[in-house]
Amino acid sequence: MTASGRPATHSVLNQVPLLTDYDVADDPALLAALHREGGGWAEAELHELGVLAGAASTQEHARLANVNKPVLRTHDARGYRIDEVDFHPSWHVLMNTAVSHGLHAAPWADARPGAHVARAAKFMVWTQAEAGHGCPVSMTYACVPALRNAPDLAARFEPLLTSASYDFGLRAPDGKTGLLAGMAMTEKQGGSDVRANTTRAVPAGDGSYLLTGHKWFCSAPMCDLFLVLAQAPEGLSCFLLPRVLPDGSRNAMYIQRLKDKLGNTSNASSEVEYDQAVAWPVGELGRGVATIINMVSATRLDCVLGSAAAIRQACVVAANYAAHRRSFGARLLDHPAMATVIADLTLEAEAASTLAVRLAGAADRAARGDAAEAALLRLALPAAKYWVCKRTPVIIAEALECLGGNGYVEDSGMPRLLRDAPLNSIWEGSGNVTALDVLRALSRSPDSADALLADIDLAADEPRVAAAAGGLRIALKDAATASPDAQWHARRLAGQIAITLQAALLARHAPDAIFDAFCASRLEPAATAGPGGPGTPFGSLPDGADLAAIVARSAVVTGR
Ligand SMILES: Cc1cc2nc3c(=O)[nH]c(=O)nc-3n(C[C@H](O)[C@H](O)[C@H](O)COP(=O)(O)OP(=O)(O)OC[C@H]3O[C@@H](n4cnc5c(N)ncnc54)[C@H](O)[C@@H]3O)c2cc1C
């Protein structure tokens, strides 16, 4: 035995220091974008949250919240229905931090220009602590613009939805200090085609409606309020359904079971039934999709933010590992094949973050009445949602492999990241549906193509962007004819929009090394030695890329 009492069979060598106690906000692309898009005033708070997100204690809360899954208790000891979901205390710690830092609906009550950008950056930083609890946080953020279609309900509940108080528990919403909101659209027969919803809404005679039916996916069922779609006599309509009625009694919303999911395990996702549940109409009856689309759009932004953040996190973990681990006498990072992989992943992280915060800036300005930014968002948001979210699982899988076998083991945090990765691409419009929304935006809002191209053209003095913009211009024109054939190319067009916009943004805002390598590998695949382009496995960058400068963007300082 050694003096420490450990068996003296071997010395532990070449294991990488834990990536802990670092500032997650120590991210040059994110910080620059924060300032550019008008949220620079939040930088101090962003770093505060970043240090908290990278703290060992937070990492432990994240682990505990995931290994201790939420538990549904349908009945009490005497057989009365209670429909409670129990969460591990660490879930509440994470939620409390998120809400007290205004990651939920706070920017809707903040008149400062850039409030949505500041919140987006904070969300990107804090979601790297743990992604699952972002679900109710995002839905609460997204619910407000839809709820404003019912001014009385908005006046009553918005102050509580935007409050910085995390007040968990099933009590009447009006008596709480803070509220969380969810959404329930998806039914058993299909989630993409919500017009096929079968849940019925019958007028109760006092302005409220009684909902009877089911929802196949209802995440975060312990929220206080839900936006729900149901068939009223006028057609599919949007309603606000409280979990607890104003008199303190439970509404007739019954949780059937919790989903046993691939990932997102800290968060509860449920199947629910309504048996004459009380709900209040939101927006014009019969125009439920038009009303709830405001919420869908805001959650889609969070899908892009969350996925960009996950890509960044995976990159940082991989870069940190490769900077310490040695093989064949050198650091992994000093082996050309590994340096190319880390650099390639870093390009994705930079492009995803830059695009994500640009869209948050557009959302901020659109919320303040900027029509051109609203038009840009209508086209660029579904394209970005499609592209960034779809790239995320493959990027994380590649980053995981940079850790070799250790990456496959839960202790590294990478398996959780990988399991969580596909979700943003599925919900709020799975890949195909989101790509088809790009076509819909083009046909319904022709100004959206002009707004997009105008933004891309700001970088037109860069020949590679100008060439890509030329190609995109033709593709957009072809797609705008609304021919049924356009659907065959929907995914290709969505990807083309996202990559061209990313290239234009990087041309204006990223270091030359990033922009050059991005163009060479994403816009000019023919220039690479072998099969190039975004379909290629990572690590196939063309010769001449400044790998050291690129990889440096993924380095962080630990031990804070
Ligand atoms: C963890 C989790 C949490 C969720 N939480 C919620 C929630 O809180 N509230 C809620 O309402 N929903 C929630 N959902 C449901 C989610 O939004 C739906 O799963 C999603 O919208 C897809 O609907 P669906 O599963 O019925 O698939 P379907 O609609 O059956 O689609 C299946 C596949 O077909 C594709 N497809 C559909 N139509 C077309 C078409 N016209 N052309 C080409 N391809 C098409 C889709 O892209 C998809 O890949 C959640 C899902 C998950 C996984």
Q: What is the pLDDT tens value at each position of the chain, 560 positions in all?
A: 555 666 689 999 999 998 999 999 999 999 999 999 999 999 999 999 999 999 999 999 999 999 999 999 999 999 999 999 999 999 999 999 999 999 999 999 999 999 999 999 999 999 999 999 999 999 999 999 999 999 999 999 999 999 999 999 999 999 999 999 999 999 999 999 999 999 999 999 999 999 999 999 999 999 999 999 999 999 999 999 999 999 999 999 999 999 999 999 999 999 999 999 999 999 999 999 999 998 999 999 999 999 999 999 999 999 999 999 999 999 999 999 999 999 999 999 999 999 999 999 999 999 999 999 999 999 999 999 999 999 999 999 999 999 999 999 999 999 999 999 999 999 999 999 999 999 999 999 999 999 999 999 999 999 999 999 999 999 999 898 767 788 999 999 999 999 999 999 999 999 999 999 999 999 976 544 444 555 578 998 989 999 999 999 999 988 76
Report whether residue 445 contacts ligand 1, using a CB cutoff of 6 Å: no
For residue 432, how far is its CA from the centre of ligand 1 (angstroms)?
10
pLDDT at 532: 52
Q: Cβ distance 1 to 9 under 8 Å?
A: no
Q: What is the pLDDT of residue 531?
A: 47
C-beta of residue 244 within 8 angstroms of C-beta of residue 171: yes
Alpha helices in 280-335 (DSSP H): 288-324
Pairing of strands 181-184, 225-232: parallel
Distance from residue 430's CA to the centre of ligand 1 (Å) = 6
Q: Which SS3 state, helix, strand or coil, does residue 232 take?
A: strand
What single-letter DSSP state applies at residue 521?
I
- Longest pairwise C-alpha distance within the chain: 80
Residue-level pLDDT at 218: 98
What pLDDT shows up at residue 4? 63
Bridge partners for 187 per DSSP: 190
Cα 499 from Cα 383, distance rounded (Å) = 9
Question: Given this model, what pLDDT does residue 484 score?
Answer: 76
**Is the shortest distance between the CB of 190 and ligand 1 below 6 Å?**
yes
Please indicate whether residue 263, judged by its CB atom, sits closer than 6 Å to ligand 1.
no
Q: Is 192 in the pocket of ligand 1 (CB under 6 A)?
A: yes
Residue 219 CB–ligand 1 contact under 6 Å: yes
**Tokens linked to 468:** 């890509």
Distance 191 CA to ligand 1 centre (A): 5
Number of Cβ atoms within 10 Å of the Cβ of 64 = 17
Ligand 1 pocket, mutate which of 180, 183, 186, 269 (most atoms under 8 A from CB): 186
Distance (angstroms) between ligand 1 centre and the Cα of 303 equals 14
How many angstroms is it from 429 CA to the middle of ligand 1? Answer: 6
Which atom of ligand 1 is found nearest the CA of 429? 21
